[in-house]
Structure 1
Amino acid sequence: MKGSCNCGAIHFSVAPEANRAVACHCTKCRKQSGHVWASGQAAPDQISITGDVTWYKSSEKAKRGFCPTCGCFLFWQAHDEDAISFALGALQNPTGLALQEHIFVADKGDYYDINDGLPQKD
């Protein structure tokens, strides 16, 4: 799977084994992305990133990676783990992925409902 930011300054490729796909409804993801943030997750040896990603420490638990030119929010990484989450919306189709669950639904916006039948975690 291959992905990039809007301007093309950041490119990334992910091994097919990186198949966890979730929709995050936490307040920080919604503020950063403008709505729900859908992401996959990969071990460091499963993802290759080209370009100068700017990392922003968004909380005591995690940092977010974005393109310094166009501002695309592409990556999320917890400070205490190696796995890197990557934006599903930045991938070229077809991805072969399907959402598996919704996370942080206790923080979701009041302007939408989740009705797809997937598991939901607070």
Structure 2
Amino acid sequence: MQNATRISGRCLCGEVTITIDGKHDAQPGVCHCRMCQRWSGGVFLAFTAAADAVSVTGPVKRFQSTPFAERAFCGTCGSHLWMRNTGDPAEDYDLMPGLFDAAHDWPLRSEIYTDKAMTSVRLKGDHARKTAAEYEASHPHTD
């Protein structure tokens, strides 16, 4: 569900603001891989936005979590902001929907690594699902 509506969000302390003024997917996806579990505490939930539509202000810290991707967080309160492939500056952002009030009613698009999901985080609903093997077969950069 592509959307071009302008939306803004912020971290917990309010020092980082993110504005999307352009193309974004108003349906988040979930990842249950072990790296995402460690980073999020259970499940990584994100929606995509075009790089040229995203503007960010505030004390952002970045962590190069793999040779090809970074994870960003607020340098003051630690709120998770995004995960993003770093090979190309035009790569989309995978943004945390909880930062944006507008995301409250968005439906879930998909789940990956479903066979790795923690027992306490089993999601119901009619959305696309892929196991680790299914996802990695179409994404050879993953281990």
TM normalised by structure 1 equals 0.87
Instruction: Mark the structure with the bigger radius of gyration.
Output: 2
Shift of 1:115: 2.3
Shift of 1:16: 5.5
Aligned equivalent of 2:13, options 7, 16, 25: 7
- Asked if the contact 2:50–2:93 (Cα under 8 Å) also holds between the matched residues in 1, the reply is yes
User: Which residue does the alignment assign to 2:29?
Assistant: 22
- C-alpha distance in 2 between matches for 1:76 and 1:21: 13
Which has a greater percent of helix? 2
Shift of 1:78: 1.3
- C-alpha distance in 2 between matches for 1:79 and 1:107: 25
* Structure 2 unaligned residues grouped into runs of 5+: 1-6, 132-143
User: Which residue does the alignment assign to 2:135?
Assistant: none
- Asked if the contact 2:13–2:77 (Cα under 8 Å) also holds between the matched residues in 1, the reply is yes
Of the two structures, which has the highest relative contact order with CA contacts closer than 8 Å and spacing of 6 or more?
A: 1
Q: How does 1:54-69 map to 2 (within 5 A)?
A: 54-69=61-76
Matched, 1:70 2:77: yes
Q: Which amino acid aligns with 1:69?
A: T
* Structure 1 unaligned residues grouped into runs of 5+: none
Matched, 1:97 2:103: no
SS at match of 1:30: helix
Shift of 1:96: 5.4
TM normalised by structure 2 equals 0.75
Provide, for residues 35-65 of structure 1, a one-character-per-residue CA deviation record: whole Å limited to 9, x for no partner: 2121111111111111121000112231100
Provide, for residues 74-106 of structure 1, a one-character-per-residue CA deviation record: whole Å limited to 9, x for no partner: 110012341111000111145553211112223
From the superposition, tell whether residues 77 and 23 of structure 1 become closer, same or farther in structure 2 (CA, over 3 Å): same
Q: Which amino acid aligns with 2:112?
A: I
- C-alpha distance in 2 between matches for 1:121 and 1:16: 29
- C-alpha distance in 1 between matches for 2:69 and 2:29: 17
Q: How does 1:30-69 map to 2 (within 5 A)?
A: 30-69=37-76
Shift of 1:110: 3.2
